[in-house]
C-alpha cells in the first residue's frame, strides 16, 4: 500500500453522486450546499482507498473508507483536492490552517495494521 496523501487537520466535503456537475464544483470549506462537511478530520489516501477519520470517545475513528477511481491532488494546500469513489461519491478536502492541537488524530498511525503477505521468517 502506497500513501498518496495524508492531511491533518482537514476540512472534508462529501457528496452523493450527481449533487454537482463535476468534482471541481464541490467545495470543502465553505461547504457546497447539499454536501456533508467533516471538520477536524484526517484524510488518508492510499493507492487503493480513501479513509476519513475523526476523534471519537474511544480515540480515532474511521468514519469513511472506500475504494476510488479518480484522485486530483492540488499542489496548493489551501485549495481543494478531489476524489471520486467507486460508488460515485465525491470528496473535496483541504488543509485546515488550525493546529489540530489536542487531537488524538495527530499521533494516530493508520498504517500499523498493514501486513505483508510475505513471511519474514522464510
Mean pLDDT of the chain: 90
- What's the whole-model pTM score? 0.87
Name the domain count of the chain.
Answer: 1
Domain range for 40: 3-95
Residues ≥6 apart with Cβ < 8 Å to 41 = 8, 9, 10, 11, 12, 52, 53, 54, 93, 105
Per residue in 44-96, pLDDT (tens digit) is 999 999 999 999 998 899 999 999 999 999 999 899 999 999 999 999 999 99
Could you tell me the pLDDT band of residue 112, with boundaries at 50, 70 and 90? low
Q: What is the CATH number of the domain that holds 14?
A: 2.30.29
120 in any annotated domain: no
For 16-25, 43-52, 104-113, which range has the lowest pLDDT when averaged over its residues? 104-113
100 in any annotated domain: no
Give the distance, in angstroms, between the CA of residue 8 and the centroid of all CA atoms in the same chain. Answer: 9
Residue with cell 491532488: 73
105 in any annotated domain: no
102 in any annotated domain: no
Amino acid at each position: 500500500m502506497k500513501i498518496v496523501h495524508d492531511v491533518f487537520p482537514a476540512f472534508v466535503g462529501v457528496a452523493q453522486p450527481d449533487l454537482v456537475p463535476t468534482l471541481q464544483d464541490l467545495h470543502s470549506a465553505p461547504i457546497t450546499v447539499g454536501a456533508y462537511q467533516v471538520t477536524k478530520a484526517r484524510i488518508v489516501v492510499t493507492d487503493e482507498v480513501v479513509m476519513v477519520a475523526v476523534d471519537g470517545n474511544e480515540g480515532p475513528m474511521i468514519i469513511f473508507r472506500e475504494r476510488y477511481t479518480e484522485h486530483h491532488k492540488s499542489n496548493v494546500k489551501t485549495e481543494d483536492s478531489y476524489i471520486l469513489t467507486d460508488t460515485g461519491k465525491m470528496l473535496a478536502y483541504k488543509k485546515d490552517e488550525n493546529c489540530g492541537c489536542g487531537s488524538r488524530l495527530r499521533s494516530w498511525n493508520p498504517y500499523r495494521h498493514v501486513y505483508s503477505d510475505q513471511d519474514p521468517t522464510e
